[in-house]
């Protein structure tokens, strides 16, 4: 098993697995766990990093400049060991670069750097994607953290909700059985800005706001401590769990799955960004524990 990297502030402790640069634990000053229990009966993930795609591709096929490549759902970053670049008391930096293996699925020279930093009651996760090649590089990126549901503060599971920072008019994307985005929309389950969590919401996979108007949400039972999740750089948001589990994933995305039946170029797909040769792009998420 890979040794976890631990960073601390006076109010939070985080542990990150260099395999996938994945946040595996976030605890408060009393040691109460704010992340998923990773029960294998439901999902063994904690907070995978989604790169260079988000969601599923039609027939698991990525098309770049007329050539087809095979790639599994959510990309390969979560299945690769990252180099540990720097570890200090309050922050840690991890880096994944292209290899013969990655170029067979994604023909670009890249560096993906993840920085985890704790300050007070806030964990900031910053992804920096660098194009090390000589041509524009298309990519998508997403965070996928699973938070404890219920949070460990004595409030019942059914009391938990997610409060959006802004009104979210309109419908949601619907996920098809193959994981791609279905053509028909899905009705919004919001009551004003509030999403009351219940298992039946997720019987047909994730809730997907694309686009999302908010750049932050607050999660919890609002009778005790809550979590603020800020995502200033991502235009989409997924919320997902497996019914009956002890977690809910709040997932800021820059990109989504393929439209069902999509056979076009990856760089032409909605939500995909391009990084110029020698350029980079930074995407940040912040998690703050409110007392």
Instruction: Give the 3-state secondary structure of 218-260.
Output: EEECCCCCEEEEECCCCCEEEEECCCCCCEEEEEEEECCCCEC
What is the mean predicted confidence (pLDDT) over 168-180?
Answer: 96
Specify the pLDDT at position 1.
53
Residue indicated by tokens 């790639």: 71
Burial of 40 (C-beta count, 10 Å sphere; 0-12/13-18/19+): exposed
CA–CA separation, 264 and 159 (whole Å)? 43
Specify the pLDDT at position 140.
98
Query: What rounded mean pLDDT belongs to the chain?
Result: 97
What stretches of the chain show up as alpha helix (H) in DSSP? 100-103
Which residues touch 273 (CB under 8 Å, ≥6 apart)?
Answer: 138, 139, 140, 254, 255, 281
Burial of 152 (C-beta count, 10 Å sphere; 0-12/13-18/19+): middle
pLDDT digits (tens, 9 = 90+) for 58-113: 999 999 999 999 999 999 999 999 999 999 999 999 999 999 999 999 999 999 99
pLDDT digits (tens, 9 = 90+) for 151-171: 999 999 999 999 999 999 999
> Does position 2 have pLDDT exceeding 90, yes or no?
no
pLDDT digits (tens, 9 = 90+) for 179-237: 999 999 999 999 999 999 999 999 999 999 999 999 999 999 999 999 999 999 999 99
β 161-164/216-220 pair status: antiparallel
What is the mean predicted confidence (pLDDT) over 28-52?
Answer: 97
What is the mean predicted confidence (pLDDT) over 7-36?
Answer: 98
8-state DSSP, 179:
S
Domain 5-290 part of CATH 2.60.40.1120: no
CA–CA separation, 232 and 189 (whole Å)? 23
Structure tokens at 71: 């790639």
pLDDT digits (tens, 9 = 90+) for 274-285: 999 999 999 999
């Amino acid at each position: 098993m890979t040794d976890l990297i631990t960073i601390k502030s006076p109010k939070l402790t985080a542990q990150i697995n260099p395999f996938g640069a994945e946040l595996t634990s976030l605890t408060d000053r009393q040691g109460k766990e704010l992340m998923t229990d990773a029960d294998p009966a439901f999902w063994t993930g904690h907070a995978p990093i989604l790169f260079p795609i988000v969601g599923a591709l039609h027939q698991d096929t990525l098309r770049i400049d007329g050539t087809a490549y095979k790639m599994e759902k959510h990309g390969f970053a979560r299945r690769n060991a990252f180099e540990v670049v720097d570890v200090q008391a309050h922050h840690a930096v991890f880096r994944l670069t292209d290899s013969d293996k990655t170029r067979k699925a994604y023909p670009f020279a890249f560096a993906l750097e993840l920085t985890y930093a704790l300050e007070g009651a806030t964990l900031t996760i910053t992804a920096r994607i660098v194009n090390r090649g000589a041509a524009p590089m298309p990519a998508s990126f997403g965070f996928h953290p699973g938070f404890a549901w219920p949070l460990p503060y004595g409030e019942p599971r059914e009391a938990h909700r997610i409060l959006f920072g802004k009104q979210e008019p309109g419908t949601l994307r619907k996920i098809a059985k193959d994981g791609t985005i279905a053509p028909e929309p899905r009705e919004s389950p919001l009551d004003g800005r509030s999403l009351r969590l219940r298992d039946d919401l997720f019987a047909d996979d994730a809730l997907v706001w694309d686009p999302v108007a908010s750049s932050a949400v607050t999660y919890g039972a609002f009778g005790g401590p809550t979590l603020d999740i800020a995502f200033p750089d991502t235009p989409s948001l997924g919320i997902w769990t497996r019914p009956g589990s002890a977690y809910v994933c709040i997932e800021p995305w820059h990109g989504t799955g393929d439209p069902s039946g999509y056979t076009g170029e990856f760089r032409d797909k909605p939500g995909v960004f391009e990084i110029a040769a020698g350029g980079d792009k930074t995407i940040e998420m912040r998690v703050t524990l409110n007392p």
